[in-house]
Amino acid sequence: DAMVIQNPRYQVTQFGKPVTLSCSQTLNHNVMYWYQQKSSQAPKLLFHYYDKDFNNEADTPDNFQSRRPNTSFCFLDIRSPGLGDAAMYLCATSSVRGGAYEQYFGPGTRLTVT
């Protein structure tokens, strides 16, 4: 089945220690998104890639970076995690080649900062 995969599902990092979360997709979608979600609140969009074009949300801290080396993979880098960055990080994809452009989400990575 075509899907969105996130690894790892659980990540523990130390305060200030860089961490990378990964996302891959077999849907061949041209748009990939990263969201941060805390305590069953609505997901908060951090940034997205439209093909290779990076689009940052205005209120996303500089501490968060992203890379998309090819269509299938996208990475979220947190350069110096703080305690406030502990959250669920969700990757999503969509295709803007037709339809309602619904987004398909991965299972998420739960990040703990110690």
Question: How many binding residues for other proteins (CB under 8 A)?
Answer: 23
| Contact track, other proteins, 33-62, x by CB under 8 A | x------xxxx-x--x--------------
CB of 21 to other proteins, least distance (A): 13
Cα(23)–Cα(83) distance, rounded to whole angstroms?
Answer: 23
**Which C-beta is closer to other proteins: that of 61 or that of 82?**
61
Contact 45, 103 (CB under 8 A): no
| Contact track, other proteins, 77-96, x by CB under 8 A | -------------x-x---x
If one asks whether residue 103 binds other proteins (CB under 8 A), the answer comes out as: yes
Cα(109)–Cα(102) distance, rounded to whole angstroms?
Answer: 21
Residue type at 44? K
* Phi (first) and psi of residue 83, to 5 degrees: -60, -30
